[in-house]
Amino acid sequence: MCYLQMHHVENSEWQNRTDVTRFILLGFGNAEDLNVLLFLLFLAIYLVILSGNLLLVVLVMVEQHLHTPMYFFLANLSFLESCYTSTILPRMLASFVTRDKSISLLGCVLQMHFFSTLGATECYLFAVMSYDRYLAICKPLHYAILMNERMCILLVAVSWVIGLLLITVLTSLLSQLNFCSRYTIDHFFCDFTPIVRLSCSDTHIVEMAAFITSSLGILPTFLITVASYVFIITTILKIPSITGRQKAFSTCSSHLTVVSIFYGSLMFVYVFPTMEKVKDLNKIFSFLYAVLTPMVNPFIYSLRNQEVKSSLRKTVLSVLGVFCDTKEIIHP
């Protein structure tokens, strides 16, 4: 009897704590007639992201001459970005098919948690990759000692752990908020700021925690990345020969391109004032860093990198050779 009374009290407290159990993600607006087209478009994008990034991971694993710190970090980045977009696109694709834009409160919080964790980890990985390029170009004689296998694994592990810890604190605070009546999110995924704005609780502590975690997640990594490239560019400009400068710059130009796109769009979304006039622009730039950047990264790294292109060509020829040999055995 006591247990039933306690259980009833707990249920009553939960009902008082929150009335909203589902949110509506408005996505890209009321484009019901374009659902089939949008489904095919985002399905193609998702398949390109998965195939391009996972192909880079496989190439780095199977090609012996790609077993270097730079490609080890690149493989981790590619794997992360495959997971990164998988927190958003499958649910979006399902909504195009079912026309159901709702998502549960728990599902929304979990989507925000995993997306933000992977985003924070990506910031630290970019900083690690910048530091790696700094050592390779500015400290070439000490590079092999400073960036050994143990250090590479440690840097990647620290990036994942810090990203997880920062966002776990934020998620635990977010889960304590009350949601009473508002339930529409004018976005295509559950991001932190749109969720907090729907709460009927005092969000001062949560917003302060978000500011601190964002500062710890974005600011140090951005400064490390910028500082690394200031030293890199300074060192490259001191190289006397044009050929030497071109060769040195080619080893970091791909990463610099990716970092510029990522941080440029990220800062527009989280630094630019959130006004009604720029809401659609926020969605566009969110799409840029959350979806488009992971899609173009494999092409930027592969098309501007001779080692990756030669490895890809070698792997494709090997696969075709095995296929042809198998076909000859079956049909002599």
- Give pLDDT tens digits for 270-325: 655 455 555 567 777 788 888 888 888 888 776 556 666 666 666 666 655 544 44
Q: Which helix (H) or strand (E) holds 117?
A: helix 105-138
How far, in Å, CA of 285 to CA of 274, rounded? Answer: 13
CA distances (Å), 206 to each of 108, 113, 282, in order? 17, 14, 22
pLDDT, residue 8, reads 44
Coil/strand/helix, residue 23: strand
pLDDT, residue 259, reads 82
pLDDT, residue 35, reads 80
Q: Distance between terminal CA atoms of the chain?
A: 80
Token reading at 12? 């009553």
Token reading at 181? 């009546």
Residue 59 neighbours by CB under 8 Å, 6+ apart: 66, 308, 311, 312, 315
Token reading at 312? 């890809």
* Consecutive 10-residue averages of pLDDT for the chain (332 residues): 41 50 79 80 93 88 86 92 92 88 90 92 92 90 91 95 92 88 83 85 87 82 89 85 74 75 74 54 78 83 65 63 49 52
Domain range 22-330, CATH architecture: Up-down Bundle (1.20)
Token reading at 227? 């500082």
**Bridge pairing between strands 102-104 and 184-185:** unpaired
Percent of the chain with pLDDT over 90: 25
Helix axes 306-330, 293-303, angle to 10 degrees: 90
How far, in Å, CA of 292 to CA of 278, rounded? Answer: 19
Report which DSSP code applies to 142. T
Under 8 Å between Cβ of 136 and 235: no
How far, in Å, CA of 103 to CA of 95, rounded? Answer: 10
pLDDT, residue 323, reads 44
- pTM, full prediction: 0.82
Under 8 Å between Cβ of 160 and 60: no
128-166 pLDDT per residue, tens = 999 998 998 888 898 999 999 999 999 999 999 999 999
Residue 50 neighbours by CB under 8 Å, 6+ apart: 82, 86
How far, in Å, CA of 158 to CA of 149, rounded? Answer: 14
